[in-house]
């Protein structure tokens, strides 16, 4: 036993069935094979059970009906034997007539009683099946008996006397000993029907009932019972059983509604059929224990269990072979994947199988090679982006310094030009034109310096929950004169159900102004600028779309880079500042093609600010 257990543990350690995939394969094979097997066996067993039960019920019903008629015939034989013996005994008939004569003297009655007792004794020796014979008057008084134990006793069952007096014969079942003991009573009228009734009643003891009815012993496991209308036993044919034994089928139910002639009783341990004895207060029960009826079927079920166990062993062997060809390549893939996850991009697997797993191994090796190439390219791009970021940082610092150095001189130049303009003569038109043109150029320089400072040194956001539609509307009102002068129509599609949004109104307003100005400038011959707001999932979207020529797909990402511009006059910082402000609010900005053919900028702002935005709030 220890050797077998050791071999089993060794097999299990090396078996692919110990893996999760192997277990799934094993379970799948077991389900696909055992479930149909168990289902078919179960259905076959149930069908066989039903067929055997129906056949047993049919045979038992036929047997019970035959035996019920036989019991009736035997009781009629006993009645006929008793009636023949009584009517052939002239002394007994004469004694019965004298004992029922109300005008007879006591001496005559005493003599008639003694003579009747002697005749009854002779009849009992002639009919030994009766344990007692009694002569009764119409009122139920026993006037003679054999043995002479019951003389002078009055019967309580007047129905037997009445039936015998009316029809000439009757039958009854009497109970003694707390209704556990049963005895049969056969009664006949000793006189002619038109004469006064005198009933001779013969009693058959419980121990003699089987012999009196010529009841066959139980054969082939089939048991027979005779019960009265109350279901109490009268006779049990089982070997070793007495009439006091309670049958195994105490509950009788009709087979179908209104079917009084054939009833069937079923319990878990027996199959039985119950048939009434025609014309008598008896029922005949034929039953067979379920263990006898289903013995062969249960043997087949045990054999099927053994075969199913052997089949499980076969499935285990097959599952082990199948899993070996599936689990091991998958294990190799898992190991290679873990090596790649740890940074070993040169990991690969053997792909010698000519099936889907081999193809999967080849695709894995191809993917690993592509991953190595992609990692190398990403590393190169990362280095390039780092260099560009360093350059942009340097340019930004330089621009901030230059802007700071130029800001004061530009203010001085602007002030000097304004003072010069006021001192020029009113008729010096050329001088005034030069001063105004110079002031405009200085203004553009100041705007560029201001943009440089805004990008290099952004001011902290002053976040508060506001109505975004109001912020957008205020910004658009500033642009309405410029739009009208440029022939641009501004259409507003502001959602009415927007919740308050955490924003800095000045910075978001400047974002709207920058995007709207870009759209107006892109439509030289006039057009339509559409500004819309709508609520999204956990956020709010703001879109600005123009009907201009649009921006090529290849340039849509570059337009957000600092100092990138497609205009002849511009710093290239407007959209960079837009992205910077939106991202500082925790949102995103993207450029797509507008439905009208132009450019569309879509800004997404979250309804709940993150910690960085809240930290920037004053």
What is the DSSP secondary-structure string of 249-284?
A: ----EESSTT--S-EEEE-SSEEEEEEEPTTSSEEE
Both 451 and 587 in one domain: the answer is: no
Domain count of the chain?
4
Higher pLDDT among residues 12 and 288, named by residue: 288
How do residues 251-262 score in pLDDT, each as one tens digit?
Answer: 444 444 444 333
Same domain assignment for residues 165 and 83:
yes
Radius of gyration over every alpha carbon of the chain, rounded to an integer in angstroms? 59
121-164: pLDDT as tens digits: 899 899 999 989 888 887 778 888 888 766 666 666 667 777 77
Assigned domain for 217 exists:
yes
- Residue 288 has φ and ψ, to the nearest 5°, of -135, 135
Expressed as residue numbers, the domain containing 432 is 372-457
Average of pLDDT values for 580-595?
A: 85
Pair (433, 564) in one structural domain: no
Helix count and strand count (H, E) for the chain = 14, 18
Note the Cα 341 to chain centre separation in Å. Answer: 39
Task: Tell me the C-alpha distance between 316 and 16, whole Å.
Answer: 11
Beta-bridged to residue 489, according to DSSP, are: 528
Pairing of strands 263-266, 181-189: unpaired
**Is the same domain home to 530 and 569?**
yes
Q: What is the rounded distance in angstroms from the CA atom of residue 595 to the CA atom of residue 616?
A: 37
**94, 109 in Cβ contact below 8 A?**
no
Contact assessment for residue 448 and residue 480, using Cβ atoms and an 8 Å cutoff: no
What would the two tokens of residue 8 be? 């089993």
| CA angle (262 as vertex; 256, 266 as ends), nearest 5 | 75
Residue 275 and residue 175 share a domain: yes
Q: Are residues 175 and 78 in the same domain?
A: yes
| H or E element, residue 491 | strand 488-494
In-domain check, residue 423: yes
Decide which of 457, 481, 501 is a domain's last residue: 457
Q: Is the pLDDT of residue 367 over 60?
A: yes
Q: Which of 504, 514, 516 is nearest to 587 (CA)?
A: 504
Q: What's the whole-model pTM score?
A: 0.46
**Can you tell me the distance from the alpha carbon of 428 to that of 445, in angstroms, rounded to the nearest whole number?**
26
Query: 3-class SS at 199?
Result: strand
With tokens 């008939």, the residue in question is 93
What digits encode the pLDDT tens for the residues 277-291? 998 888 888 888 777
344 within domain boundaries: no
Q: Which two tokens stand for residue 39?
A: 């289902």
| Mean residue pLDDT across the chain | 75
How many CB atoms within 10 Å of residue 499? 10
Instruction: Considering only residues 333 and 147, tell me which one the structure prediction assigns the higher pLDDT.
Output: 147
d(CA 616, CA 618): 6
């Amino acid at each position: 036993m220890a050797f077998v257990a050791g071999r089993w543990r060794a097999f299990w350690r090396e078996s692919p069935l110990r893996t999760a995939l192997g277990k799934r394969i094993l379970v799948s094979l077991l389900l696909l094979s055992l479930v149909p097997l168990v289902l078919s066996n179960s259905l076959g067993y149930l069908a066989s059970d039903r067929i055997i039960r129906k056949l047993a019920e049919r045979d038992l019903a036929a047997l019970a009906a035959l035996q019920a008629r036989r019991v009736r015939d035997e009781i009629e034989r006993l009645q006929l034997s008793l009636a023949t013996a009584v009517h052939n005994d002239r002394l007994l008939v004469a004694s019965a007539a004298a004992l029922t004569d109300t005008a007879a003297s006591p001496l005559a009655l005493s003599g008639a009683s003694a003579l009747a007792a002697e005749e009854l004794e002779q009849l009992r020796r002639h009919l030994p099946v009766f344990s007692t014979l009694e002569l009764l008057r119409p009122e139920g008084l026993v006037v003679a008996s054999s043995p002479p134990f019951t003389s002078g006793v009055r019967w309580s069952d007047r129905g037997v006397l009445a039936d015998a007096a009316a029809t000439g014969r009757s039958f009854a079942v009497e109970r003694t000993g707390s209704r556990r003991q049963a005895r049969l009573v056969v009664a006949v009228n000793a006189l002619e029907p038109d004469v006064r009734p005198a009933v001779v009643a013969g009693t058959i003891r419980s121990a003699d009932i089987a012999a009196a009815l010529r009841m066959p012993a139980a054969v082939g496991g089939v048991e027979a019972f005779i019960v009265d209308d109350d279901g109490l036993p009268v006779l049990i044919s089982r070997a070793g059983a007495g009439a006091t034994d309670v049958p195994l089928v105490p509950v009788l139910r009709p087979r179908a509604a209104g079917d009084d002639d054939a009833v069937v009783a079923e319990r878990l341990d027996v199959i039985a059929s119950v048939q009434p004895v025609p014309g008598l207060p008896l029922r005949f029960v034929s039953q067979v224990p379920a263990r006898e009826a289903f013995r062969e079927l249960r043997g087949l079920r045990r054999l099927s269990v053994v075969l199913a166990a052997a089949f499980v062993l076969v499935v285990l062997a097959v599952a082990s072979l199948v899993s070996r060809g599936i689990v091991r390549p998958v294990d190799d893939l898992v190991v290679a994947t873990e090596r790649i996850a740890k940074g070993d991009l040169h990991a690969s697997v053997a792909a010698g199988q000519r099936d889907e797993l081999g193809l999967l191994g080849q695709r894995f090796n191809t993917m690993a090679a592509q991953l190595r190439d992609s990692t190398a390219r990403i590393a190169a791009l990362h280095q390039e982006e780092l260099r560009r970021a360093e350059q942009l940082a340097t340019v930004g610092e330089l621009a901030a310094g230059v802007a700071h150095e130029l800001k004061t001189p530009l203010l001085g130049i602007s002030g000097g030009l304004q003072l010069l303009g006021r001192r020029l003569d009113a008729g010096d038109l050329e001088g005034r034109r030069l001063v105004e043109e110079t002031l405009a150029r200085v203004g553009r320089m100041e705007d560029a310096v201001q943009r440089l400072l805004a990008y290099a040194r952004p001011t902290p956001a002053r976040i508060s929950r506001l109505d975004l539609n109001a912020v957008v509307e205020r910004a658009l009102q500033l642009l309405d004169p410029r739009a009208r002068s440029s022939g641009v129509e501004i259409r507003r599609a502001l959602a009415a159900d927007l919740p308050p949004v955490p924003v800095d109104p000045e910075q978001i307003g400047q974002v709207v102004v920058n995007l709207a100005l870009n759209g107006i400038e892109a439509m030289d011959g006039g057009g339509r600028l559409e500004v819309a707001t709508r609520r999204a999932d956990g956020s709010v979207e703001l879109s600005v779309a123009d009907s201009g020529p649009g921006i090529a797909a290849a340039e849509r990402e570059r337009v957000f880079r600092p100092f990138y511009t497609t205009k002849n006059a511009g710093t290239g910082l407007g959209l960079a500042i837009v992205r910077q402000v939106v991202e500082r609010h925790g949102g995103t900005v993207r450029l797509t093609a507008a439905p009208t053919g132009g450019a569309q900028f879509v800004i997404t702002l979250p309804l709940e600010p993150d910690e960085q935005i809240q930290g920037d709030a004053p």
